[in-house]
Amino acid sequence: MMTKKHILLLLSLLTVNILFSQNANTVSLSKFSQISVITSGPGEALYEKFGHSAIRVKDPVLQLDLIYNYGIFDFDDPMFIINFTKGFMKYKLARYPFYLSLKSSQEDKRWVKEQILNLTQDQKNEFFSFLETNAQPENASYFYDPFFDNCATRPRDIIQKIVGDNLVFKDDFITEDLSIRQLMNKEINPNTWGSFGINIALGSKLDKIAAPKEYLYLPDYVFEALNTSKIIKNGNEEDLVLKTNILLDFEEKKSKSDVFSPFLAMLLLLFLGLFITYRDFKNAKRTKWFDFILFFGTGILGLLIVFLWFFTNHSTAPNNFNFLWAFAPNIIAAFLLLKQNLPKWIYRYIQVLLVLLLLIPIIWIAKIQLYTYPMTPLFVLLGIRHWCLQKTLKR
């Protein structure tokens, strides 16, 4: 459903495209022009939690004040969810009046900072020409990767392309060595369902220590990196950023735990499971429906992990050690556990599951893959239930 804000943005996009489609590469910026990197604070929606980066081109002589936004996607596209799941996330560069972007941030109460780049006139025009070429409909779309090709990495890469060897990248902004997952979990509270799902779905590629440039998938670090970096002009090293302007000064939105959080849900499941398991063990019986829920649920998640790992284009889905507890064959075991007479191999199968669970703390401590704390009650429940289950089956 299109809101008033969406309609206004669409009309502005059409107007700007009509004005520039014929002479996109013939316009030269004046000496009063400015190229800026715009950084916005986090918003409320999950995809806004990391903040946002964009590029502003302002020229009072040409009466230009445009924003170039690489973070545009169409949620109304009927294939969007399917393509997103498969790892083919089609985003595009959109160009529209800067005031619309600022107005949107004002309405959402997100802070906005501008860093005016210290570029030569030739570099400004090359920058502008590059953006204009990329904003054309035939060039605007690209396949988005949340960690390696997004709204923040694009300005970084364009600056590197335009400035070339005259860019002196500094990594003084890095104060501690963190993995990509740790950086992500600083932006999204781990005790939210969004973070819980992402941490289950993505594999160990996120857990290597990030190189300095890999920090720059996050807008905040792009801002810090630009502040510390230098540019060589006329043989002299100068600041890359001429001036920083605070355009909107709202308090940063903090990522908070969900009210009914994953940790609370897993804790309640643990208490329920402990009660049922104690009662079963004491009475030498087995609550079949509870075993079915545990095995079927972990089996479904296991199938999702296998699908994302082997059948999608997600760069960070492979090598996902969540399969140690979300084990796909559990779906078959779930239906077998509804029966009174179980096959003999099911006892050995549950012992294998226990061994896999014992590997989790080793993987975690060794930082091969980091798990988040809301998963801990689930691991405890699975360990206790599987141990008691194999004891019951052995009798």
Q: What topology does CATH give the domain 4-15+31-248? A: endopeptidase fold (from Nostoc punctiforme) (3.90.1720)
Mean pLDDT across 278-301? 94
pLDDT tens digits for range 26-83: 689 999 999 999 999 999 988 899 999 999 999 999 999 999 999 988 666 666 667 7
Tell me the whole-structure pTM to 2 decimals.
Answer: 0.88
Task: With cut-offs at 50, 70 and 90, classify the pLDDT of residue 3.
Answer: very low
Which pLDDT does position 192 carry in this prediction? 95
Domain ranges of the chain: 4-15+31-248, 262-394
User: Mapped to the 3 state alphabet, what secondary structure does the chain carry?
Assistant: CCCHHHHHHHHHHHHHHHHHCCCCCCCCCCCCCEEEEEEECCCCCHHHCCCEEEEEEEECCCCEEEEEEEEECCCCCCCHHHHHHHCCEEEEEEEEEHHHHHHHHHHHCCCEEEEEECCCHHHHHHHHHHHHHHHCCCCCEEEEECCCECCCHHHHHHHHHHHHHHEECCCCCCCCCCEHHHHHHHHCCCCCHHHHHHHHHCCHHHHCECCHHHHHHCHHHHHHHHHHCEEEECCEEEECEEEEEEEECCCCCCCCCCCCCHHHHHHHHHHHHHHHHHHHHHHCCCCHHHHHHHHHHHHHHHHHHHHHHHHCCCCCCCCCHHHHCCCCCHHHHHHHCCCCCCCCHHHHHHHHHHHHHHHHHHHHHCCCCCCCHHHHHHHHHHHHHHHHHHHHHHC
